[in-house]
């Protein structure tokens, strides 16, 4: 049981401004409140019945005093208002050069998406997740000392993306986009809370934001140091790009891990020895993989029908081919992604009836 320090961690420029304003209000209201308490206590002791004759003066009021304690609070309150506007104005208007990140809330997790393609699932309720999702729970990675703009929306009900260490909070409203921005000033890990009640596991829609040095952040963007606990290639590397292609070109509809798939599962394929139809075998190296995509009928795996279409350079460019190979290289046992319809489309995308919803499996 550790006691938190009296002032919570200040990890952004906005948090610093908040604390200044908060303590300005706290001290002024404390003084006024304390003065009223002192007056109450003094009157209650001095004028208690046993201490008086029972006779009291007929005091009806004083316009001068009442005017004073009408106008003076008004001025003080206006100073709170002005200070609040300064902080809020700053919080509401991100700088031009801010890096942009998109965050989507859904019951009960956050999905963050970086402009370079990295996707992170933050928090979420472990009890409500598939094994794959649980493995890939991540943290929102932010660089220190650089403004970041977060655009927020929600897929279902209203959530609220709040980071206390940044003294920031913004509702995620379905059908709307809201914005916040941070300028983190300290590295470290801080809480992310969902602050708007959103149902059963509202309190488990929590996660962490990890503020790292710029270099570490760049490395992570490049996929060199996967900070996330993910087994899937969701780290922005070449393999990640290949994974996107693998899904986009519908390779997954045959090369799936479902029991009655129409094509072999590619997990652990790279480097293995592949038996071919009509005898013989080949080592599945890069050349073999490229050949199998460009001209699949040349070497069909033993036991499978030759049904795969060929992909020429108009369909898969050389760069894309590299990405696909990198992805297939990275595929380990149990990593074949689920079919794309598993993932609900973003709000507003054209929809089609889903046969089964993943939550109800």
Residues between 64 and 103 that touch other proteins (CB under 8 A):
64-66, 69-70, 73-74, 77-78, 80-81, 83-89, 91-92
Q: Is 345 in the site for other proteins (CB under 8 A)?
A: no
Rounded distance between C-alpha atoms, residue 325 and residue 172, angstroms: 38
H/E element, 171: strand 168-172
Taking the complex as a whole, the smallest distance from the CB of residue 353 to other proteins amounts, in Å, to: 15
- Applying CB under 8 A, among 16, 22, 288, 342 the residue interacting with other proteins is 22
Q: Is 39 in the site for other proteins (CB under 8 A)?
A: yes
Residues 6+ apart with CB under 8 A from 172: 103, 104, 105, 152, 153, 154, 158, 159, 160, 161, 178, 196
Of 21-29, 234-242, 256-264, 266-274, the segment contacting other proteins by CB under 8 A is 21-29
Taking the complex as a whole, the smallest distance from the CB of residue 177 to other proteins amounts, in Å, to: 8
Taking the complex as a whole, the smallest distance from the CB of residue 229 to other proteins amounts, in Å, to: 20
Q: Is 29 in the site for other proteins (CB under 8 A)?
A: yes
Residue that has been written with the tokens 């963007």 in this structure:
221
227 within 8 A of 141, measured Cβ to Cβ: yes
Of 82 and 307, which has the nearer Cβ to other proteins?
82
Taking the complex as a whole, the smallest distance from the CB of residue 104 to other proteins amounts, in Å, to: 14
Q: By CB under 8 A, how many residues form the interface with other proteins?
A: 90
Rounded distance between C-alpha atoms, residue 246 and residue 293, angstroms: 12
Q: Is 334 in the site for other proteins (CB under 8 A)?
A: no
Burial 265-290 (b: 16+ CB within 10 A, else e): ebeebbeeebeeeeeeebebeeebbb
Taking the complex as a whole, the smallest distance from the CB of residue 240 to other proteins amounts, in Å, to: 31
Of 142 and 324, which has the nearer Cβ to other proteins?
142
Q: Which residues pair with 154 in a beta bridge?
A: 105, 174
Rounded distance between C-alpha atoms, residue 224 and residue 178, angstroms: 32
**Residues of span 145-184 touching other proteins by CB under 8 A:** 156-158, 160, 162, 164-165, 167-171, 173-176, 178
Of 79 and 272, which has the nearer Cβ to other proteins?
79
For residues 186 to 205, the per-residue mask of contacts with other proteins, x marking binding by CB under 8 A and - elsewhere, is -----x-xxxxxxxxxxxx-
**Residues of span 102-141 touching other proteins by CB under 8 A:** 107
- Applying CB under 8 A, among 263, 265, 347, 358 the residue interacting with other proteins is 347
With H, G, I as helix, E, B as strand and everything else as coil, classify residue 154.
Answer: strand
209 within 8 A of 140, measured Cβ to Cβ: yes
Of 31-39, 97-105, 129-137, 230-238, the segment contacting other proteins by CB under 8 A is 31-39
Residues 6+ apart with CB under 8 A from 64: none
With H, G, I as helix, E, B as strand and everything else as coil, classify residue 22.
Answer: helix
Rounded distance between C-alpha atoms, residue 190 and residue 165, angstroms: 6
C-alpha angle 101/318/264, rounded to 5°?
85
């Amino acid at each position: 049981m550790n006691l938190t320090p009296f002032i919570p961690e200040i990890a952004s420029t906005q948090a610093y401004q908040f604390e200044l304003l908060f303590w300005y209000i706290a001290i002024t209201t404390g003084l006024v409140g304390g003065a009223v308490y002192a007056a109450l206590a003094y009157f209650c002791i001095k004028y208690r019945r046993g201490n008086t004759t029972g006779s009291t003066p007929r005091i009806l009021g004083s316009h001068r005093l009442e005017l004073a304690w009408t106008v003076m609070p008004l001025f003080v309150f206006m100073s709170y208002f002005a200070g609040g506007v300064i902080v809020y104005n700053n919080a509401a208007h991100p700088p031009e050069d801010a890096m942009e990140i998109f965050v989507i809330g859904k019951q009960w997790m956050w999905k963050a998406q970086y402009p370079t393609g990295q996707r992170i699932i933050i928090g979420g309720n472990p009890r409500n997740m598939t094994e794959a999702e649980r493995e890939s729970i991540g943290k929102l990675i932010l660089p220190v000392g650089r403004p970041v703009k977060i655009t927020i929306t929600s897929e279902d009900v209203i959530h609220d993306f709040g980071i206390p260490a940044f003294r920031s909070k913004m509702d995620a409203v379905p059908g709307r986009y809201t914005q916040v921005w941070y300028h983190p000033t300290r590295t470290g890990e801080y809480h992310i809370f969902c602050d708007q009640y959103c149902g059963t596991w509202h309190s488990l829609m929590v996660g962490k934001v990890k503020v790292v040095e710029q270099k570490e952040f760049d490395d992570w963007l490049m996929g060199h140091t996967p900070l996330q606990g993910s087994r899937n290639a969701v780290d922005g590397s070449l393999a990640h790009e290949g994974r996107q292609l693998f899904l986009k070109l519908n390779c997954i509809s045959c090369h799936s891990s479902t029991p009655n798939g129409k094509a072999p599962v590619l997990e652990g394929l790279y480097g293995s020895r592949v038996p071919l139809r009509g005898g013989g075998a080949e080592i599945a190296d890069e050349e073999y993989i490229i050949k199998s995509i460009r001209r699949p009928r040349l070497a069909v795996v033993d036991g499978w029908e030759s049904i795969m279409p060929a992909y020429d350079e108009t369909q898969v460019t050389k760069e894309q081919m590299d990405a696909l190979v990198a992805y297939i290289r990275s595929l380990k046992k149990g990593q074949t992604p689920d079919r794309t319809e598993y993932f609900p489309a973003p709000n507003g995308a054209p929809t089609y009836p889903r046969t089964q919803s993943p939550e109800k499996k």
